Amino acid sequence: MLVRVAAGIIIREQKVFIALRKASQHQGDLWEFPGGKCEAEESPEQALARELQEECGIVVKRSDYFNTVSHDYGDKQVELVFFTVTEFSGEARGDEGQQVRWVSVADLADYSFPEANKVIVDALLAS
């Protein structure tokens, strides 16, 4: 099963917004950049905007392509399209009951992310 996912690296005042995946979800109990699966006929940008509104309650005003990561989890193959989100309206929150946090880029090293995120987190830490 190959799924295409759009995820947002939401940045405000040098901090990044991350969310904890629910234990019951795939790659559960790990931190993520919020986002979700692209529906048929939906571009990654459109999926990103929809998912961030649903999961975090924000309206994306500016997103920029960051990187694409393909990863095989064995039970699931994902193509993750990451965007930075630097302008949005609303206050980012966990609208699906998920724990959320604004963390400084350097502190991302203290959080456990799914394996596919390693290259992204490393790139942010090096930036």
Ligand X SMILES: Nc1nc2c([nH]c(=O)n2[C@H]2C[C@H](O)[C@@H](COP(=O)(O)OP(=O)(O)OP(=O)(O)O)O2)c(=O)[nH]1
Binding-site residues from annotation for Mg(2+) = 35, 55
Task: State which of residues 16, 17, 32, 63 lies at the interface with ligand X (CB under 6 A).
Answer: 32
98 binds ligand X (CB under 6 A): no
Contacting Mg ion within 28-57 (CB under 5 A): 36
User: Who contacts 13 (Cβ-Cβ below 8 Å, separation ≥6)?
Assistant: none
**16-50 per-residue burial string, b: 16 or more CB within 10 A, e: under 16:** bbbbbbeeeeebeebbbbbbbebeeeeebbebbbb
Residue with tokens 């790139």, as numbered in its chain: 123
Minimum distance from CB of 62 to Mg ion (Å)? 21
Task: State which of residues 4, 11, 15, 27 lies at the interface with ligand X (CB under 6 A).
Answer: 27
44 binds ligand X (CB under 6 A): no
Q: What is the DSSP letter of 96?
A: T
26 binds ligand X (CB under 6 A): yes
Query: Which one of 59-67, 86-94, 99-107, 112-120 is the stretch in contact with ligand X (CB under 6 A)?
Result: 112-120
How crowded is residue 85: how many other Cβ atoms within 10 Å of its Cβ? Answer: 28
Binding stretches for Mg ion (CB under 5 A) = 36
